[in-house]
Amino acid sequence: RHHLIRFCPSRHDRPFHDPETHHFCFYIYIIPVAVGLELLWRGAPAAHPAGSGRGREEIDEKAERTRGAAANPNPRFQGCHSQAASQATGVMALVYRVPSLPSSRLEVSLYNGPDQGYLRGVECSAFWRDSSLAWSIDKRMLVSCSVGVGSRRGNRMMVAASPPTEDAVIATEPLTKEDLVAYLASGCKPKDKWRIGTEHEKFGFEVGTLRPMKYEQIADLLNGIAERFSWDKVMEGNKIIGLKQGKQSISLEPGGQFELSGAPLETLHQTCAEVNSHLYQVKAVAEEVGIGFLGIGFQPKWELKDIPVMPKGRYEIMRNYMPKVGSLGLDMMFRTCTVQVNLDFSSELDMIRKFRAGLALQPIATAIFANSPFTEGKPNGYLSMRSQIWTDTDNDRTGMLPFVFDDSFGFEQYVEYALDVPMYFVYRNKKYIDCTGMSFQDFMVGKLPSVPGELPTLNDWENHLTTIFPEVRLKRYLEMRGADGGPWRRLCALPAFWVGLLYDDISLQNILDMISDWTKEERMMLRRKVPVTGLKTPFRDGFLRHVAENVLELAKDGLERRGYKEAGFLREVSDIVRTGVTPAEKLLELYHGKWGGSVDPVFEELLY
């Protein structure tokens, strides 16, 4: 099997020959065996536009330091660089920043070692911008980059191009806090590159018994989807634990909750079509074996002991640790489902604005999408039990992050927060190593007790960021995490809500003006009370419903200004906001009336 490497000294999307610059793109076919490929390029021009790569597996070794700090609290990241991207895609980008490059000689080695698996779908693009070299590499491939001049972090660097949980090459130089900050800053991109990434989880169950799916049934389902619809299987050992197809993936939460992590897409029409396609494929296979899927925020019927445990090493570590730091952590792992949207930012300042708006309004999203009123067959006293569970899961890594509203907040402050969050694990030699309660700061100086002497890679840092669970989470993009899982018809409304508010400058500014005098105590009060009282939560001179009406109107206006005719996706939540009656309250009305005190009918009411 042959794979194509494209090497282009100019812009990577130009044709074979660029008549303006007289640069050529060279196309090289290679056979993916244990061989080395040397590319030597001399006489590069001083500067060319940089490209971009997308994915959770991207690494940005040094963020571009640009000038012009007037509009940015942190001048090091004014404007940021647009090479790294936001949502999960399965593509890794390596960007190596050269502080000074007096020579134009560049030497790059690509090879597929005997233990690295075969080279898949590789595309390499090299181009210059302010002495920057960017590479985009697909899947697993070991890369060694040698720059023909010295730099302050050495002449040679090696990384493993791999998913976040794959092995990383042992680091030989310590990471600095600057590296960790640069990693976050690498997510910045211009507005025309912003994308929408939607994720949703759902409970699988046996149609006849309503019992949760066993792992064996889940494995059969994953294999069936892979074979019928051409997905690639994701394995841990000899167990199938997920699927990948292009830039979207299917994964398993600890209790077998089925999650779609969507591709980064331009419009809500595209992301909604992706959801519909996924649900069609899942139903086509699941219905043949008597499996259904339930769209709700918390398991309504079954006890914790009834939920299967997925064969993933990281979940075993978390399961042992959770009872030590909170009373509801296992419920979070095994009995909750959510829908969330991941969104981009253009600069550090833009990230700050969106982070603050997202945090302040997260309780409103929780109220609008509240959909988890049952536990073990009975009402649990909450409209969003899922949201309530997060208040007693692990306070070291959850919550409303009041420091985001400090004047000093930026990428660096988030890094300092994340460094203080205790670790869960590191991944070495295809195994998860328990590091619960240990310090990433100790790891950075080679003093992690579980792996003494080892230094972290950016892959380890990326893994660590995924173990932090605030209401809004920062990676190389922002995750809005406050909504309950719900039925098919509401899945597209959540991204519409946030895109309308955060991707339109006017709506975002109006939101920031609205929340500018909200106090920390008011934000915390909303977080505490909304899981119980939803849109009927008292707020200032009225109820939260009145604020939500204004917010929803701003979201609608923002969508209309985008010009993609996306405002219709908000119709599913318009009545909720207008009446103040949440989905959970409608379920409770059915429970006390038509359903005769049984939760079993919810499996049909909210069936995908």
Q: Which 3-state string (H, E, C) describes 93-160?
A: EEEEECCCCCCCCEEEEEECCCCCCCCCCCCCCCCCCCCEEEEEEECCEEEEEEECCCCCCCCEEEEE
Tell me the C-alpha distance between 323 and 313, whole Å: 17
What pLDDT shows up at residue 152? Answer: 37
User: Which phi and psi (to 5°) does residue 136 adopt?
Assistant: -120, 125
CB-based burial of residue 176 (10 Å sphere; 0-12 exposed, 13-18 middle, 19+ buried)?
exposed
- Paired strand residues for 23: 18
- CA–chain centroid gap for 134, Å, is 22
Which of 357, 388, 363 minimizes the C-alpha distance to 375? 388
Amino acid at 300: P
What pLDDT shows up at residue 221? Answer: 99
What pLDDT shows up at residue 170? Answer: 61
Reported as type and span, the H/E element at residue 225 is helix 215-229
Amino acid at 100: S
- Which numeric CATH code is attached to 196-421+468-605? 3.30.590.20
- Paired strand residues for 109: 38, 144
Tell me the C-alpha distance between 542 and 406, whole Å: 27
What pLDDT shows up at residue 61? Answer: 33
Which of 473, 450, 350, 452 minimizes the C-alpha distance to 400? 473
What pLDDT shows up at residue 173? Answer: 81
With beta carbons less than 8 A apart as the criterion, state whether 410 and 348 touch.
yes
> DSSP letter string over 155-188?
SEEEEEE--TTS--PPPSS---HHHHHHHHHTT-
Structure token digits, residue 582: 């949440």
The residue ranges of DSSP E strands in 401-498, in sequence order, are 425-428, 431-434, 469-470, 472-474, 478-484
What pLDDT shows up at residue 606? Answer: 98
Tell me the C-alpha distance between 338 and 202, whole Å: 8
Task: Give start-end residues of each CATH 3.30.590.20 domain in the chain.
Answer: 196-421+468-605
Q: Pairing between strand 59-60 and 91-97? A: parallel
With beta carbons less than 8 A apart as the criterion, state whether 427 and 451 touch.
no
What pLDDT shows up at residue 80? Answer: 55
Tell me the C-alpha distance between 575 and 368, whole Å: 10
For the chain, which residues score pLDDT lower than 50?
1-79, 81-168
Task: Encode pLDDT of 326-355 as tens digits.
Answer: 999 999 999 999 999 999 999 999 999 999
Tell me the C-alpha distance between 89 and 530, whole Å: 34
Residues 6+ apart with CB under 8 A from 29: 2, 3, 4, 5
> DSSP letter string over 415-432?
HHHHHHSPP-EEEETTEE
- Paired strand residues for 147: 106
